[in-house]
Amino acid sequence: MTTPIANTTALDERQRGLLAAWLPNAVVVRDHSWGYDQTTVLEVATTDGGRFIVKAAGPADVKIGREIHAHQHWAHPWTSTGRAPVAVRHDADANLLLTRYLPGDLVLGTRHETDPDVYQQAGELLAVFHAQCALVDDQWEAAENARSLARLDRSHRLPADTVARLRDVVGSFETPPVTIVPTHGDWQPRNWLTDDGVVKVIDFGRAALRPAWTDLVRLAVKNFPGHRELETAFLDGYGRDPRDPDAWFRTLVREAIGTAVWGYEIGDESFERLGHRMVDDVLDEADQADQASMGRR
């Protein structure tokens, strides 16, 4: 069943008006939204056979702005080879982005999710994306520490003693300068497509300048454990392992905090449980490091 753009309640009046001007007589054929945030993702079709993806959000959302920026400044290495959707129109004030439909099927939940070739291609794609530019930021680490501590002030179900320990761990972190590059921000199978064996990329909603290794976090937590061959294939495609042990640990701690808090906030208990497991893992590692340090004294 299709719905005319003018009739969809997923978009506000301004967004519907813009789309009616950009794609007269277009209809919504599928809703691809994840459902846990403000972002609406619609597949639309036109009478002449065109297929597009509409991304829209409310005024408080920042993801569409990130997507627009990424398409304007960083997406070319992928879009020029057909490996990412091409932006057609946007209106940043209306939080609205229109891209061409990118053929392919989600890797998530399919046999491709454990295919080493998919991970090698994902590593190759990420290496090209990261290589576009590099800047040194001497404030990034301190800002991320502050962000993690602020998250612990929000509502969550982490035990009080765990929170206290996390605060101690984050408070002990060094804050050296780091090299930041364009990152995807959510690099994992739910944002990869396969199309006749070719891996493609979607969703720039978390794209930003960060250290390269931050794009490996989701994979290291969800996909690499128990599948060393996937990690090996990915790093082979990427060309090297960008993870410095100390910086990587700091990143894992911050990601654990963010996952536990955000999972609770959106009411996703499985994601929240993942966050709690991540917290337990990083605190175990911190305890082991403390014990080893005491043993050397």
Q: Taking residues 219-225, what's their average pLDDT?
A: 96
Query: How many angstroms separate the Cα of 35 from the Cα of each of 10, 100, 140?
Result: 11, 22, 31
Handedness of CA 59, 93, 13, 208 (dihedral sign): negative
Q: What is the pLDDT of residue 294?
A: 58
Q: What is the pLDDT of residue 297?
A: 54
Computed over every residue of the chain, the mean pLDDT equals 94
- List the structure tokens of 76: 């070319």
Q: How many CB atoms lie within 10 A of CB 150?
A: 11
For 231-249, write each residue's pLDDT tens digit. Answer: 999 999 999 999 999 999 9
Percent of the chain with pLDDT strictly greater than 90: 86
| Band of residue 141 on the pLDDT scale cut at 50, 70, 90 | very high
Task: Decide if pLDDT at 36 tops 80.
Answer: no
Task: Decide if pLDDT at 1 tops 60.
Answer: no
Q: Which domains does the chain have, with CATH numbers?
A: 3-101 (3.30.200.20), 106-295 (3.90.1200.10)
Task: Decide if pLDDT at 296 tops 60.
Answer: no
End-to-end CA distance of the chain: 70
3-state helix, strand, coil in the chain (%, to 5): 50, 15, 35
For 72-109, write each residue's pLDDT tens digit. Answer: 999 999 999 999 999 999 999 999 999 999 999 999 99
Q: What's the alpha-carbon Rg for the chain, to the nearest Å?
A: 21
pTM of the model: 0.93
Which of 172, 129, 124 is CA-nearest to residue 149? 172
Is residue 165 within 8 Å of residue 283, measured between CB atoms?
A: yes
Q: Taking residues 185-202, what's their average pLDDT?
A: 97
Q: What is the pLDDT of residue 287?
A: 86
Q: Taking residues 161-174, what's their average pLDDT?
A: 97
